[in-house]
Structure 1
């Protein structure tokens, strides 16, 4: 497995995010490789083949491909290819990914998104902005972080607009579900609440989530809650007790148990580790 640390050492860089631009087919993955970090690939021109976890995807212009840590990767490009890549360390990716609104399982199952030239240009513009900021001797870390957040939110929006479906009805229900979760996850973590709002049974909502997100309705709701709590812990100094109340946890023990169950560490431990790491770029 190739590590981000190895990449940093090779490039003599301490940055937690790196930008690469490939022109032509000089840079190829000739064998299956596994990485311990996230890679965003934007194919501006050319074609080829990208194989992730032994699933082949055709490369075409204006496509975005998402590679998650510990997947296998292999791709070949045509001589006229132009590719923009953002490589993000796993530690930083855990912070940035709080803006990805769908489960990782869904993204891994649907890693390729066809973009309009306009949307593609907007995402590339943010990538170029990261490159320019990294090249400055006194590059502002917070600007880089904001650009990564913008990119992750744009990815979520594009996934949202490309939800699969035969007659359109299941994706429409799921879009409404996601909107409701975003609006009400702080005070409502019950699947029943959302299914009643949608006029369907809790069981059917879970079936839809399993089919399109490879997840359960409960996991989608809890994922939104956890990502929101992570954001508060990593980016603010708001007391943990106040964060718990913000998310309708009235007992600290319940809040701590819930957070630890989904992250493997207590809220205080997460803040101690990630509030400092937010300055790492």
Structure 2
């Protein structure tokens, strides 16, 4: 069955200004908006990591259908595959960076290094950070350096990588108090592994026991871990991921509800409708009409 997807942009399709490099883009927010706002206000996905620091402006932005008010000093991070849109008002200032996972492959021996940062978890609420003014000043200085070095990526690629990692480490340090302080590292590693498996298998595996087997733990242990660290059961995390993808696909007007149900491995379209309404309070058609109207 042919399916139309939500628009997916890579860095090339956004007109990378850094000649000879398809893995990195940095720009001042007003300049970026002048080039791209006309087609990026509607929900779309990125095939790359995406981060924005707001230093001035107002309006809202959405990440996976959670809406956030723009605030001075707000920094948001997005992992590949998340859906977002903008609704800005007035003058906007700040910085934007897009980069692919490939940017760091020749530089970091530790695979999955970015997964250590909670703001790249792919959970929208964990990716939006309000930073103290002194941290914003530090990161603004780093962004100005990035703009200079990115003008010649062939010569300064490693400097760009170092500066970008510095941004992540500075933000991570500023957010230390909001993270799971005192939680044993092995528990956090297990939770990240569970979330990663859900992202890979949510279309075909729907039971906590199936994931517990892949993680070599008991279902009771996995469930207790999720409730302890997140306040949700393992089954709720699986269900939430299915619902999130359903919302992402329904945001695309060219994909029928039947095609969405088929894509998510619901062989019975009526069961998908009942499942979606039970947990969202809306039918798939009602949700779609609301999103497109908004």
For the aligned pair, the TM-score class normalised by the smaller chain equals 0.5 to 0.7
**Within 5 A, what are the aligned runs for 1:185-200?**
none
Query: Given the two structures, how large is their TM-score scaled by the length of structure 2?
Result: 0.53
Note the aligned Cα RMSD (angstroms): 3.5
1:101 counterpart residue number: 116
Q: Shift of the alpha carbon at 1:123?
A: 1.5
Q: Shift of the alpha carbon at 1:82?
A: 0.2
CA distance in 2, matches of 1:34, 1:106: 12
Contact 2:121 2:127 in 1 (8 A): no
Contact 2:11 2:22 in 1 (8 A): no
Contact 1:101 1:156 in 2 (8 A): no
CA distance in 1, matches of 2:135, 2:23: 25
2:149 counterpart residue number: 133
Post-superposition Cα deviations, 1:49-94, rounded to whole Å, max 9, x if no partner, equal 1111111111110000112111111012222210200110232267
CA distance in 2, matches of 1:206, 1:77: 36
CA distance in 2, matches of 1:40, 1:109: 14
CA distance in 1, matches of 2:222, 2:41: 47
CA distance in 1, matches of 2:153, 2:231: 48
CA distance in 1, matches of 2:53, 2:230: 28
Q: Shift of the alpha carbon at 1:113?
A: 0.4
Post-superposition Cα deviations, 1:209-268, rounded to whole Å, max 9, x if no partner, equal 3449x9xxxxxxxxxxxxxxxxxxxxxxxxxxxxxxxxxxxxxxxxxxxxxxxxxxxxxx
Contact 1:22 1:81 in 2 (8 A): yes
CA distance in 1, matches of 2:182, 2:100: 35
The alignment partner of 2:9 has SS state of coil
Query: Given the two structures, how large is their TM-score scaled by the length of structure 1?
Result: 0.55
**Within 5 A, what are the aligned runs for 1:79-118?**
79-92=90-103, 98-102=113-117, 104-105=120-121, 107-118=123-134
Contact 1:50 1:73 in 2 (8 A): yes
